[in-house]
Amino acid sequence: MASPAPLPLPPQVPAADPEALRAALPSALREEFDAEWVLVLDRAKQSHSLREIHDLLNKWQHTAAMELREPGSYGRVLEKAAQIEAAGGRTTGVSIEDMRALIQQRLQAG
């Protein structure tokens, strides 16, 4: 009996390093990273803190890993966020008031 083919290894997570992250990102996201990088560097110069730089690198490390696993996923997340925002923060067509009324009905029905 033949053994099953091994599962592919997950993509390598890039280091939380600007150069490694840029190399792992698709060109469209590289531009966005670069713009945020410049902004955060300017803020760090003013605040004398590296916190925002670490936060930015962490965010983009997760984004790069997500894109390596599933290309285009970052854009899909942004699209979904825009849809939710356009719907007033709702992820469904049901308002919070309607949802509360439904919960109350179910609680009373026991």
Q: Amino acid identity of 53?
A: I
Rounded CA separation 82/108 (Å): 36
Tens digit of each residue's pLDDT (9 = 90 or more) over 9-31 = 556 889 999 999 999 999 999 99
- Rounded to an integer, the average pLDDT of 91-100 is 79
Percent of the chain with pLDDT strictly greater than 70: 87
Instruction: For 79, list phi and psi in degrees, rounded to 5.
Output: -60, -45
pLDDT of residue 26: 92
Rounded CA separation 29/27 (Å): 5
pLDDT of residue 8: 60
| pLDDT tops 80 at residue 3 | no
Q: Is the pTM of this model over 0.85?
A: no
What ranges in the chain are assigned the alpha helix state H?
Answer: 18-24, 27-47, 51-69, 73-86, 96-109
- Rounded to an integer, the average pLDDT of 58-77 is 93
